[in-house]
Amino acid sequence: MNSVQEFTMDFNPRMKVNFDGEDLTSDAGLLLYKEFDHRIGLSDTVKNLLVVHDSVFHRDHPNSDIVLQKLYQHVAGYHTDDNADDLAVEPLLTALFGKERLASQPTLSRFYEKAYIATAKSLESVNETLQQRLYSIKSQSQFVFDVDSSGFAAYGKQQGANFNYHYQQHGFHPLCCFDGLTGDCLQAEGSSRWSVLQENCCFSSPLS
């Protein structure tokens, strides 16, 4: 009985097809996002502009990688930090980051704990820089500023979280400003450094 060996695709020699079950992924769509990331310089911009307290250092996971990992998790639909443990050896994500393992949930939590207002402001700068690049490619003659607030549930005793009667939940209630024509998030402002940080990590990437 013959077995099928690994072979490459003619249209892209770097892509290989094999039948090793451990190499399977359900997140192949992230390849397109990575290509977009490369074209607009998202990863490089985060690495150049991110500001974190000097005492925060992870040997295997630079702070910029942690932010980008969280962003990629959101894009793929893995919105909670606990997902990081399940994705630690996900073949596509580890290939995109060039690592054997991704950052764990505790590593993400340690990053959040040491982040401060300058971190949030640096992420705002990342967003503004990318917005300028995109608008330079396709300029707009007018803007529609869509300002609205939104509720995000918090669990535990996170700093700055309060009970919101409208949403009937304990959490954050940031005010967001979007470009009404493109859907891009232009600014997010919360009641504490934590809510501002969360908004920038999760929603400020200009990917319409």
pLDDT tens readout for residues 62-121: 999 999 999 999 999 999 999 999 999 998 899 889 899 999 999 998 888 888 889 988
Q: Nearest to residue 91, comparing CAs of 7, 37, 18? A: 18
pLDDT tens readout for residues 10-67: 655 666 666 665 567 788 888 889 988 998 999 999 999 999 876 656 678 999 999 9
**CB atoms < 10 A from the CB of 172, how many?**
24
> CB burial class (10 A; 0-12, 13-18, 19+) of residue 65?
buried
* Alpha helix (H) residue ranges in the chain: 30-40, 42-49, 63-75, 83-86, 91-97, 105-114, 117-137, 193-203
pLDDT of residue 195: 45
**CB atoms < 10 A from the CB of 94, how many?**
16
pLDDT of residue 204: 41
Q: Which residue has the tokens 């909670």?
A: 80
pLDDT tens readout for residues 152-189: 888 877 777 888 888 888 888 888 899 888 888 888 88
Q: Does the predicted model carry a pTM greater than 0.85? A: no
pLDDT of residue 208: 35
Q: At what angle do helices 63-75 and 105-114 cross, to 10 degrees?
A: 120
